[in-house]
A and B are shown apart, each in its own frame.
Chain A
Amino acid sequence: MSHAEGSYYLPEPSHWPLVGSIGLFLATGGFAYALTYGVDGALGNMTVSYIGLAIIIFMLFGWFGTVIKESMAGKYDSQVDSSFRMGMIWFILSEVMFFAAFFGALYYMRNFSVPWLGGEGNNAMTNAILHEGFQAVWPTNGPGNVGGDYEPMPATGLPLWNTIILLTSGATLTWAHHALKAGKNSQLVLGLFLTVVLGILFLSFQIYEYGHAYNDLNLKLTTGAYGTTFFMLTGFHGFHVFVGATMLVIMLFRAMKGHFTAEHHFAFEASAWYWHFVDVVWLGLFIFVYWLI
């Protein structure tokens, strides 16, 4: 309504949040329905969920579109900019904590539950009576040999290449950032383009790796503790790479349209922070999921 006369920009009422809520409700509710009412373990009807997803994507375009328009119209002062920055920083922290839960689960399994099943600590009888003969080693698919015999994923080879790819992409993105601050738009576009290409390469390698795991190693999501932590951690990371790459693609288009100036480019920075966060999570993954086995 902007009866507000102060300097801080107060937006008009907006329908986008409600659209987003409806989208989320349909996407999750539809998925829950499909999970609950599938026949013989198969997924049920996902139509509602897909409609919800489409609404969410529609909302994202609409909402961010509005924000970009407002930004380009110069409505945001440095205080608004600062609110956005805080929003992004704390959002990334919440993502860190989400990953922390899964890293925590990995830590717990490797250091507590698996050794206990093997009879360590105050669990001698656990092993002797319930899981006789089970040896606590990592990786493992547990005393039930859940998912059947498998081979673990070695750290050398693809994962190592992926580490190099992701680290390089961090460097190209930083290069793009410097170019932006120096006002060199063509270098910015090139840097962003390279980063996106590296991101896509990373994802392609990961998809290949999953195929290899499923087809050649019999390593699956259902392969006990190891399969569970391996796929959940790398899978959520991969999803975040996808999201980060999508953000960078949008930044690439905006950079080509000349949206960013050396002073005002919060959207670029937010995407860059996100990309670096995804980068750091990968390092944790590479060490704890691939390397230390």
Chain B
Amino acid sequence: MSASHITKKLSVLLGLLLVPGIALADYALNMTQGVTEISKDIYDLHQLVMWICTVAGILVFTVMIYSLINHRKSKGAVAAQFHESATVEVVWTVIPLVILVAIAVPATGVLLDIEDPSKSDVTIQVTGWQWKWQYNYRDEDLSFFSNLSSDSNEARQLGADPSLMAKADNYLLNVDKPIVVPVNKKVRLLITSNDVIHAWWVPEFAVKRDAVPGFINESHFTATKTGIYRGQCAELCGKDHGFMPIVVKVVEQAEYNNWLKTEKAAIAAAAGDSNKTFSHDELMAKGEAVYKANCAACHQADGSGGGPFPGLVGSKLVTTGSIEDHLKLIIAGKGIMPPFGAQLSDADIAAVTTYERNAWGNNTGDTVQPAAAKAAR
């Protein structure tokens, strides 16, 4: 790839000329080869098409530039008067056609591989939400949500301290809870959405598939290397479209099995919380964390709201309304507010309700226990 080397150097040079002082790290000038057979095939196809275009471009541009230099009036060129030739027209209609066939044939092969989700080892249902992903391991009875990690979330607020970005782990490309899959196993993805269209994209797997509400789109990947792979939502899905990353940890089978075991144990423990009684302070602490992860994106960290999202400070429902209505709104959603019943446990819902009713000077003094949330479902 000598040419891409040259372009790389040139653009680094250009960058140096234009903006001295910026760190020239992590340049990526070309598509990733990725870690699956298909991603490598796609990369090869990309290289093929790009080089065909480059060569064709160079040929055409050379002719044009030659003409621009030599057929100018100032050099005494006298205009020829030819203005048509059926032969030439046929020739330069046929040549592109042949090239296109040369591209279409391998492209067809790769596409048919991509569209074959059969014989998978792990099946994960991926559901897009505004603005987070839900993963459901179909064969394992395991389901969880994956949000933008909190350090990135703080750093990405309008006017936040810029040093927070550097401190954040993989700024904007990190989540609180990644999905884990075994290496060298075919992972089948059942992609759908709960609200608007999203798109699940991890460049290293060359999987990009829209999450369409009401329909399931299938895709698959077989990662051949362990590691952490990151991606983002690739379809405009509203305000926080840029803030719903995807992180996939590819691990050895044994590690995967362990992970499954731990996760299921944690779920069992959380289920037990539904019947517990917590102190007011415990609920407030837990509630603040839940609020930051799930509610602050719209209602803001200080509960002030904004745009179509109502403020919670002194809000009627939150301060004087009944606890039951408050719980039901969180569980079932309303209008553009999504239902949180599926993603939050009873304890989470109780905690966040307690938090909202007491934070920011709302001071109702209410304490809401998980049992109330359970009853409100």
Contacts and interface: CB of A to CB of B under 8 A. Distances in A.
Q: Is there direct touching of A and B in the complex, by C-beta distance under 8 Å? A: yes
Interface of A: 116-117, 122-123, 125-126, 129-131
Across the A-B interface, the 8 shortest Cβ-Cβ residue pairs: A125-B216, A126-B216, A126-B215, A125-B190, A129-B216, A130-B216, A125-B218, A130-B214
B125 A129 contact: yes
Contacts, number: 23
Nearest to B191: A125
Contacts of A116: 215
B216 A123 contact: yes
A123 B115 CA distance: 12
A42 B216 CA distance: 35
A126 B211 CA distance: 12
A129 B115 CA distance: 20
B190 A129 contact: yes
Contacts of A130: 192, 214-216
B65 to A, nearest CB: 44
Contacts of B190: 125, 129
Contacts of A131: 214
Interface residues of B, number: 8
Contacts of A129: 125, 190, 192, 216
A98 to B, nearest CB: 26
Given A123-B216, A130-B214, 9 more contacts: A116-B215, A117-B215, A125-B218, A126-B192, A129-B125, A129-B192, A129-B216, A130-B192, A130-B215
B300 to A, nearest CB: 25
A108 to B, nearest CB: 13
18 contacts: A117-B214, A117-B215, A122-B115, A122-B218, A123-B215, A125-B216, A126-B192, A126-B214, A126-B215, A126-B216, A129-B125, A129-B190, A129-B192, A129-B216, A130-B192, A130-B214, A130-B215, A131-B214
Interface string B199-222: 000000000000000111010000
A99 to B, nearest CB: 26
A75 B208 CA distance: 63
Nearest to B136: A129
A117 B192 CA distance: 13
A102 B108 CA distance: 33
Contacts of A122: 115, 218
Nearest to A128: B216
Contacts of B214: 117, 126, 130-131
A126 B193 CA distance: 12
A111 to B, nearest CB: 15
A130 B216 CA distance: 8
A113 B218 CA distance: 16
Nearest to B213: A130
Interface in B30-81: none
A117 B190 CA distance: 15
A117 B213 CA distance: 11
A40 to B, nearest CB: 13
A213 to B, nearest CB: 26
B63 to A, nearest CB: 41
Nearest to A142: B214
A123 B215 CA distance: 8
Contacts of A125: 190, 216, 218
Nearest to A127: B216
A131 B190 CA distance: 14
Contacts of A126: 192, 214-216
Contacts of B115: 122
Contacts of B216: 123, 125-126, 129-130
A187 B215 CA distance: 59
Contacts of B192: 126, 129-130
Interface string B129-150: 0000000000000000000000
Contacts of A117: 214-215
Nearest to B123: A125
A144 to B, nearest CB: 9
Interface string B105-142: 00000000001000000000100000000000000000
A225 B215 CA distance: 16
Contacts of B125: 129
Interface in B244-278: none
Contacts of A123: 215-216
